Amino acid sequence: MKYFDYLDYLEAEAMYILRETAGQFERPALLFSGGKDSITLVHLALKAFRPGKLPFPLVHIDTGHNFPEAIAFRDALVEKTGAELIVGYVQDSIDQGKVVEPTGKYASRNALQSVTLLDTIQAHAFDACIGGARRDEEKARAKERIFSHRDEFGQWQPKKQRPELWNIYNGSLRKGEHMRVFPISNWTELDVWHYILREGIELPSLYFAHRRECILRDGQLLANSDFIYKDEQDVIVEKKVRFRTVGDMTCTAAVESDAETVEQVIEEIKAARTTERGTRVDDQMSEAAMEDRKKQGYF
């Protein structure tokens, strides 16, 4: 006899939220980065609406500085599932003069994504955007509700969020507003990995240990790339590494690792003394870096 375990509970909650989103909103979309959390969301959505197709498109905000492995995985997933893919390009926002590309050693297009994301939401009239954020990732994300309101400017104001009453989610909106929805908000990094193991979910090779040329900078290992400005203080090294998160190449650092399987990754995370977001350079810019970006419309 199979008992209903904690992964079954988390899965059921996430599928309920996804179905509520499809039922309450006219034009929802699933924000897809090519990372493990959004890949898990796609898997959950496929199960929630089986045998039908996904009732909403995948939306990827492409900085132009993505890991090639993540883009290749995205395209293969879309072909395999038959999902609709909508891509918003940060380069278009730069060309239109809506954002100015930073320059210099620590330059990154990561923060510019907010403008491209909000433009894409407006262009396609999305009233709900499903994201893979989790409360355990970072303190700003811990403040988000499952249904998290955004005003007519796409901005988030933590103190003006609507209360959630148990599993009753309020999706009412005024014209121009939209909702961000976080079905796996109650999951931890380990929960995601245990679920990936149980369900046999495929991931980009970036998540598993491999030898790679890296830039050693300020104690972080960044993947060597033409997108990153380098100077004489940067040291190029070859290391066996993997990535705990997958974002823009300019701000996503690797960790040294020998974990080549999901089981080994789980054991590595159990013993880790640093947080998952500790490998994101963009989160280290200030104490409130993530919250500041989210207020401007970030994921």
230-252 residue pLDDT tens: 888 889 999 999 999 988 898 89
> On the CB side of 228, how many CA atoms lie within 13 Å of its CA?
24
Residue 259 — pLDDT band, cuts 50, 70, 90?
very high
Lowest mean pLDDT among 129-138, 182-191, 235-244: 129-138
CATH of 6-200+288-296, one of 3.40.50.620, 3.40.920.10, 3.30.43.10, 2.40.50.100: 3.40.50.620
Looking at the predicted structure, is the pLDDT value of residue 165 above 90? no
Radius of gyration (Cα) for the chain, nearest Å? 19
> Residue 122: what are its φ and ψ, rounded to 5°?
-70, -45
Domain with CATH 3.40.50.620 in the chain: 6-200+288-296
Can you give the pLDDT at residue 162?
Answer: 79
DSSP code at position 252 = B
What share of the chain has pLDDT > 70, as a percent?
92
Return the higher-pLDDT residue of 276 and 269.
269
Structure token pair of residue 16: 């309920």
Q: From residue 159, give the alpha-carbon distance in Å to each of 162, 163, 294, 295.
A: 9, 11, 13, 11
Lowest mean pLDDT among 23-37, 82-96, 110-124, 147-161: 147-161
- How much is the mean pLDDT over the chain? 90
Question: Is the whole model's pTM more than 0.85, yes or no?
Answer: yes
For residues 52 and 47, give the distance between their C-alpha atoms in angstroms, rounded to a whole number: 9
Strands (E), the chain: 28-31, 58-62, 85-89, 128-130, 147-150, 178-181, 210-217, 220-223, 235-242, 253-256
